[in-house]
Structure 1
Amino acid sequence: MNPSTGGIRTPDQRLRAFVSSTLKELAPERRAARVAVERLHLAPVMFELGARPHPPRDLYRAYLEQSDVFVGLYWEAYGWVAPTETVSGLEDEYNLSTRLPKLIYIKESAGAREPRLDVLLDRIRNDDGASFKYFSTPQQLRKLLGDDLATLLAERFDLSRRSSFPSPDRPRATGPDTGAIPAPLTSLIGRDKELLAVEAMLRSDSVRLVTLTGPGGIGKSRLAIGVAKLLNERVQGEVAFVDLAPVQDAALVPNAIAQALGVRDTGDETLLEKLTTALRQRRMLIVVDNFEQVLDAATTLTSLLRAAPTLKFLVTSRTLLRVSGEHAYEVGPLALPGPAARLDAAELIASPSVALFVERVRAVKPDFELTAENKDAVAAICRELDGVPLALELAAARIRTLPPAAMLARLDRRLPLLSAGAKDLPPRQQTLRRTIEWSTQLLEPDEKRLLALLGVFAGGFSLEAAEFVAGDAAHADPLTSLGILVDNSLVRQQDCEGRSHFSMLATVREYALEQLEASGTFEAIRARHAEYFVELAERIEFDLEGAHQREWVSRLNDDRDNLRAAVRFLLDHDDWDTAARFAWNLFIFWWVGGLLGEVRGWMEEVLAAKDAHSDRTRAIALYFTRSITLWQDPNEWVVPALTESAELFHRVHDRSGEGLSLISVALALLADEKPDPAHADEALLKSLELFREQGDGWGEAMALVTLGRVALMDQKIHRAVHRFQESLSLARDRHEELGTAIALHHLGWAKLVAGSIDEARDAFNESLATSAKLGHAEGVAYGLEGLIAIAAARREIQRAGRLLRAAEALRKQTGLYNAASFSFHQRYLAPILAGDDASALEAARTEGRDMSMDDVVAFALAGNAP
């Protein structure tokens, strides 16, 4: 809710609910509404003059202007209309409430409502900005209003926390990859000096790489997030966050950076080249967290810094990167308290380590207070733990069962016993290790066992995945044990689109992996981890082709690192068949997510294997390695390989696989310097027949849309439109968004070529919106290019220029810049570029430079009416 400014405010500055109703007939209901509003500690603005004769309009308009929620109560009376007015005060109040969220309650009527009230209620029912409910009694109204206000406040609070992200009903242009700065769950305590020092370093033109060093758990990541947020507020430019915790292979660091930036690995050039293109002209700070395990990738950062002059990196690592241009900043522990005996509780809590400990304690025990009785023990705990933030957090999680004095006694007793381990580590890291081990010593055996098993997950994990991996190894209910690990701050839980997702700090995961390896079951658990994701892929293969497509794309994005780990396990164990089947089952996800380049690399390993693999595995590997490169590689290499893929699929009776390979054969024939539409059409008709025999609606839709492309190339516009509409109908019947967006995009071009500009605009508009919701960046780029052509055809120069800039930037920044394009927008721009409006187009193209991708989508989807 937007804070109001002006003259009328409640004394305590609470949010205000303006209650509009006739006065006498709804007196009991007004009292019920007042109770509902006040119970939520909001301020009711009742305006007791009501809608009676001669309402002081300036007064109630002022109250409305200063209110935050509009509550309308209606029964049978419309209210009196003053001689100089055309509507009653009741309707006037509603008319003036346009900027406010509106909660409307209509009392059931046994008699007849006044005619003008019926007209007003019809308007309200058709108002998308108002919710309305019916009620019978004042008690029922009180409950309805109380519940609705609570829900509204929760929604508005959630939106305010996510103000930098698109709203739920606003399509996203970049999908779920964008490396937004994580929203910290806790405040940054005791780091003011460090925050300002690191910020000053990064604001210097001569500093482009800063490394925050220190042991695990010292607070490097939290400080880096704080610096990033500070710079994001104070300095123009973009900020992105890259978490390397799940990355163990230095070769995968470009993939992690690309994922955070939304750069797609489409396989047409190296990912480092794509990143260079995406970053070359961007003013950006990239925070790279947990670099110590991939130090060999330091040259990747320096390579990008050399290529992109306005790029900077803020890196967290337990050790220095030791590359040229690096500026180091060591992060130390939080300041410790002085002698507690000399300080009262208020003075003691000014110590950063004590302040952090007390804040974390209150998260699990809200009524905790630092008192004269417990202050000595709290100060001693902070000193025992050397002011290491993670150690303080882990200890604080135990406060519900261990008061400070008891906790201190256990720490005194445990630490000497644990001091024999890891003596070669720095003292502060020994402290953290001891604290983690101390925290686990207080767990039951099943909980310890589960913690070790969870170390196998890369990134995060779902409850279902944890239960599967635990399997027979967990004698207790994994859900119960997982809840205890969350309670003890060893595992973190967050809600992700209505489902729970869990993760561990890199330091805790490292400890868990050590325990798993020590148990002798590491490889067996890795195999079970891979088995879970292989089975998941088989289970959801057809869901990815239907109404649940967007949901599964989102969920699989959460598990990208686990999917990579599963493939890596299969390849390392020469399980070529399972690796190929796994890749094939998730084909749509790799496509939408822009990960086909990675899949191509995996399948090249399969083809290079010396030991034999099945015909189907070779068919899949040939498809992934050749279909991705058909736009770049000569046909004498691509077409035979894809033809072999189709033949191998035929041999193993995989009709859908054969049909998909034939589509790629056709596309390769069309992409040749001398296109061969006739043979492409022949391959596509065979493909269409195979899909129909198999009852494969998704494949049939893809074949139809490609047949339409052939027809369009042959200038057979009517046939092309028919094919595209057939494809669209199939996709819509299946509620499948990728196919819908593809068919609409092609239909848009066919309609535009035919001269039906309005129909083309509608098709491009819907295609863009659908792609944005799905997070399919390639589809967004195509949608923008279609709307560029519409704007150019209408001579909307400024709009065409801004959209052109946006489409070019999106292709560069997402790694799609050199991707094959089924787009003719340059043809429609050519007359403008050759005429008097060329300079105006270029000016508008420059003007659109600073639009975010989400703003671009919003701009593109607005104002498309003739």
Structure 2
Amino acid sequence: MSPFDRAIRTPDQRLRVFVSSTLRELAPERRAVRAAIEQLNLAPVMFELGARPHPPQDLYRAYLEQSDIFVGLYSASYGWVAPGDEVSGLEDEYRLAAHEMPKLVYVKEGVEREPRLQELLARIKVDGISYVYFTDADQLAELVRTDLATLLAERFARGANEVASRDGLDGTVELPAALTALIGRESEVELVVGLLADDAVRLVTITGPGGIGKSRLSIDAANRVRDSFPGGIAFVDLAPVTNPDRVPAAIADALGIRDIGDGTLDEKLRMALRDRRMLLLLDNVEQVVEAAPAIRSLLTDAPGLTVLATSRILLRLTGEHGVELGPLALPDPDPDHGVSVSRALSTSSVILFVDRVRAVKPDFELTDQNVEDVERICIALDGVPLALELAAARARVLTPAELLERLDHRLLVLGGGARDLPARQRSIRSTIEWSTQLLGAPARQLLARLGLFAGGFTLDAAEWIADGIPEANTLDSLSELVDGSLVRQQDRGDRAVFSLLAAVRQYALDELEHQPDAAQLRDRHAQYFVRLGEQVEFELEGATQLEWIGRLAEEGDNLRAAVRHLLDTGQWATAAHFAWTLYVYWWVDGHLGEVREWMQEVLDSGAELDDLTRATAMYFTRAIAFWQDPDEWLVPGLGESAELFRREGERSGEALALISLALALLGARQPDTPRADEALDTSLALFRDAGDTWGEAMALVTLGRVALLTRDVRAALARFDESLAVAKRQGDDLGEAIALHHRGWAEVLLGEFAIARDCFEQSLTLSARMRHDEGVAYGLEGLTAVEAGAGEVTRAGTLLGASSMLRERTGLYNAPSFSFHEQFVDDILAGPGAEAFESALARGRQLRVDDAVAFALQRDEVRAEASVT
């Protein structure tokens, strides 16, 4: 240890960014980088000679130990080597930076570097760290700010993906990570940011052709205005949505609103957004622009909502502010003075092209010999960012001259694309077509098929859809597409996930339609997910439940596309079977209302349905609404479903239908408890006979509920204990959470509040880990009763406020609730603690879900301290 405290702290314990560079020659750049870091609310850690009364080497080593990110800036000088040292402080800082520390490296262009600095840069390259060139302090600041934002977004997404597919405030889908620097759009970004910061502006639409960079710019602008939207930012990718009527559902899904069939999505959206100051980013609106009236209704109903949309055309709504995005600035060769590297690098299209080339060929340099070819490439591609990226991807093996020759030839042959498209749209389609002509035949066929995937896809899915391509090696073809920037790859945990940009996917789908086996390939896409459902049906009931719910949430758009295809082609039996296999996922992730609509479509088809298909469709259209009009509609329907399952020998199906039938009988205007008991006893026997432990646990819980309704609390407790034991043996977190919640209420009714608290806390912990919003709300409400019973008025109010807000934000406010906290709350409201309770209720409504869970799980000593303060 050095004689001074190594625990060097930075303001507010923010993430620390260590900046390594020589001092004097890069002084302007260091100031610019410091400002960029601080704009992101990070803490710059910068060693300035004489800034501290400690030996310089000890000082920068201590700084490095306390830093989170390494930023290296290099120009011409290698730096001073102290007497007795072998390397300069500049190299020593790089060596000492921990291997796992993220490293961003920037190299100044157009300077003659000292030999030892060249050696250091070569070592950095060998270490697998790519670096970016910059020309001046302003450009460097923009690069650093964008790269840090991207790095932070990726780290955040990775951490969140370990527990859930949603990572935003209160379950909203957050902005995707930007994978590349935003170049040449400073004025447009500032314009959009300025509009979004104006409270009088409610709708901003960024327009332009495909591939022009609308999505990339919108993400950057949204990130810059985060502080203006305390209610959060939600990202809605509408590229997979082809029916305008589905837009409200896509928005609800992005907001974490659960469609469990207990009300319209319009009502739920209004409730979730009514008092929320938030930004909704709607990406790729052009194909569903007919949904504009629904977007207008949202803006009318939610005065705190602002919408940022990207579209090829305006939405034509009152109050809309359009920002048209054109191509990047093109070089203008000077015939009098010839070409110039420095002049070329002042043009955004050239800067972007060179930047993307260096992503695949880090040692690429713009020189007097190649600058004219690069300028001509940018002009030929009309400065369209995606076209430039696709061309740059080929620079790994082609020189600019070779690239230009092939590009000119192909664009001439293609004639600029379809004549009914706008000029810039023809340019991007032509460039995509040119890029595909450089692929092998198997890769071209694979690309057309990959367009079937709505959203991302895995290698396994790509291999499935590639079946039958002659001489195909899927991994090789996929690598070829990634190398050509036609497919993008991201890592999610231990899996690689691939995706296509909207413009490339549309091109792929157009190509697919020209193939004679297009219909069979659409079938094959759906079959992949049907097969997936069959594989994971029982995984969703056991120890891997949490993992698979997260994985399936990532596949949400593909699952919907598969169901839609099955319904559109009249494959009723397969659609019903698919819905049944993923029952637990639809339930936990809040999509049973959507499933009900699909199954109603099956029943309304007029087709002759087999017994199993009809039983399944009847179950899904009735069971999720057992509390609605049970006498005339639900009881007969659920009885028919159970009977049809019985005829087919489907014991688990019959047993599950009987559970819902029992609940409907109990909810009737004249409850039929004996018949409900009989149905549940039969259900339990069927589940046990089938060896279905998941269903057994559900039946036991329901039997316990019936016992509670008849005031036989001890019998109920015994049933809940049985259910809990079965769920634990199965490794079923959902079943365990449900059993614990019910057990908690039984203990409350017995006056055992300490035991009840433990049950509710365990249930809440499991539900939060699954991101099961309904279970979290139940847990908070159970603990509300415990705190109220213990006289903890403030804590009770805070927990109930958080639960109420969660139910409103996620669309669960109308769902039937197995919770008795109201009677405890009524006692508080009738007493002297009413005012304190109401104040705490308001504070609880401001809590994020994770913060509310943490508050609820505070132990006794923390609660005591909180009650004092």
Q: TM-score range by the shorter chain?
A: 0.7 to 0.9
Aligned-pair identity (%): 53
**Residue 281 of structure 1: how far off its partner (Å):** 1.2
Residues 380-407 of structure 1: per-residue CA shift (max 9 Å, x gap): 1111111111011111111111111111
Distance 2:659 2:533 in 1: 23
By relative contact order (CA 8 Å, sep 6+), the higher-ranking structure is: 1
Does residue 530 (structure 1) correspond to residue 535 (structure 2)? The answer is no
Deviation at 1:150, TM superposition (A): 3.2
> In structure 1, which of residues 505, 511, 518 is the aligned counterpart of residue 501 of structure 2?
505
Describe the superposition over 1:234-282 as per-residue Cα deviations: whole angstroms up to 9, x where unpaired. Answer: 5544211100111111111112111110001111111122111111111
Q: Which residue of 2 aligns with 1:105?
A: none
Aligned counterpart, 2:763: 767
Which residue does the alignment assign to 1:330?
A: 324
For residues 85-104 of structure 1, what are the structure 2 equivalents within 5 Å?
none
Contact 1:174 / 1:777 at 8 angstroms: preserved in 2? Answer: no
Partner residue of 2:256? 262
Q: Distance in 1 between matches of 2:704 and 2:296?
A: 47
1:109 maps to: none
Indicate conservation of the 8 Å contact 1:263/1:814, yes or no: yes
The residue correspondences of 1:305-704 to structure 2 (distance < 5 A) are 305-339=299-333, 342=338, 344-419=340-415, 421-704=417-700
Q: In structure 2, what is the equivalent of residue 723 of structure 1?
A: 719
Q: 1:225 to 1:744 in 2, by over 3 A?
A: same
Q: Which moved more, 1:789-798 or 1:815-824?
A: 789-798
CA distance in 1, matches of 2:361, 2:150: 24
Q: Is the 8 A contact 2:150 2:177 kept in 1?
A: no
Alignment-derived partner of residue 150 in structure 1: 99
2:184 alignment partner in structure 1 = 190
Deviates more, 1:221-230 or 1:784-793: 784-793
2:273 corresponds, among 279, 295, 300, to 279
**Residue 843, structure 1, aligned to residue 839, structure 2:** yes
Distance 1:269 1:427, change over 3 A: same
The alpha-carbon deviation at position 66 of structure 1 amounts to 5.7
Per the alignment, residue 860 of structure 1 pairs with 856
User: Alignment partner of 1:328: what SS?
Assistant: strand
2: CA distance, partners of 1:566 / 1:844 = 46
> Runs of 5+ in structure 1 lacking a partner?
16-41, 44-57, 71-98, 101-145
The number of aligned residues is: 749
- Aligned with 1:473: secondary structure? coil
> What is the CA–CA distance in structure 2 between the aligned matches of 1:237 and 1:603, rounded to whole Å?
35
**C-alpha offsets along residues 422-461 of structure 1, whole Å, 9 cap, x if unaligned?**
1121111111111101111100101100001111111121
Which residue identity is paired with 1:4?
R
Single out whichever of 232-241 and 314-323 deviates more from structure 2.
232-241
TM-superposition CA deviations, 1:104-131 (whole Å, max 9, x none)? xxxxxxxxxxxxxxxxxxxxxxxxxxxx
Shift of 1:837: 0.9
SS at match of 2:309: strand
Counterpart residue identity of residue 301, structure 2 = A
Change (3 A) 1:158 1:742: farther
Deviations 1:12-54 (A, max 9, x none): 8679xxxxxxxxxxxxxxxxxxxxxxxxxx99xxxxxxxxxxx
Query: Structure 1 CA distance, aligned partners of 2:188 and 2:152?
Result: 28
* Cα RMSD after superposing both structures: 3.0
- How high is the TM-score relative to the length of structure 2? 0.82
Mapped to 2, the partners of 1:272 and 1:336 lie a distance apart of 46
User: What residue number does 2:225 align with?
Assistant: 231
Alignment correspondent of 1:746: 742
Residue matched to 1:815 = 811
Amino acid paired to 2:239? A
Alignment counterpart, residue 289 of structure 1, candidates 283, 293, 296: 283
- 2:174 is paired with a residue whose SS is coil
Q: Please, which moves more after superposition, 718-727 or 589-598?
A: 718-727
Aligned-residue offset at 1:310: 0.9
Contact 1:449 1:474 in 2 (8 A): no
SS at match of 1:316: strand
| Counterpart AA for 1:216 | G
Indicate how the Cα distance of structure 1 residues 175 and 578 shifts in structure 2: closer, same or farther if over 3 A, else same: farther
1:803 aligns with 2:808: no
Aligned to 1:90: none
Q: CA distance change for structure 1 residues 816 and 166 in 2, over 3 Å: closer, same or farther? A: farther
| 1:784 partnered with 2:780 | yes
Please give the residue correspondences for 1:187-226 in structure 2 after superposition, counting only pairs within 5 Å.
187-226=181-220
Q: What amino acid maps onto 1:755 in structure 2?
A: G
Taking the aligned partners of 2:150 and 2:8, their CA distance within structure 1 comes to 16
Unaligned runs of 5+ in 2: 1-5, 22-44, 47-53, 69-94, 104-147, 864-869
| Aligned match of 2:9 | 4
Alpha-carbon shift at residue 629 of structure 1 (Å): 1.5
Evaluate the alpha carbon distance shift between residue 725 and residue 331 of structure 1 in structure 2; reply closer, same or farther with a 3 A threshold: same
Determine helix, strand or coil for the equivalent of 1:246: coil
Give the partner amino acid of 1:221: S
Taking the aligned partners of 1:657 and 1:741, their CA distance within structure 2 comes to 23
1:486-544 deviation per Cα after TM superposition (whole angstroms, max 9, x unaligned): 11110111112321111101100000011110122221110111111111111221111
Which of the residues 751, 754, 757 maps onto 1:755? 751
Q: Which runs of 4+ in 1 moved over 4 A?
A: 10-15, 62-70, 146-149, 151-154, 156-177, 340-343
- Check whether the contact 2:785–2:824 (CA below 8 A) recurs between aligned residues: yes
Q: Is the 8 A contact 1:240 1:260 kept in 2?
A: yes
Can you list the C-alpha shifts for 1:578-598, whole angstroms capped at 9, x where unaligned?
Answer: 111110011001001100011
Shift of 1:149: 5.1
Question: In the alignment, does 2:297 pair up with 1:303?
Answer: yes
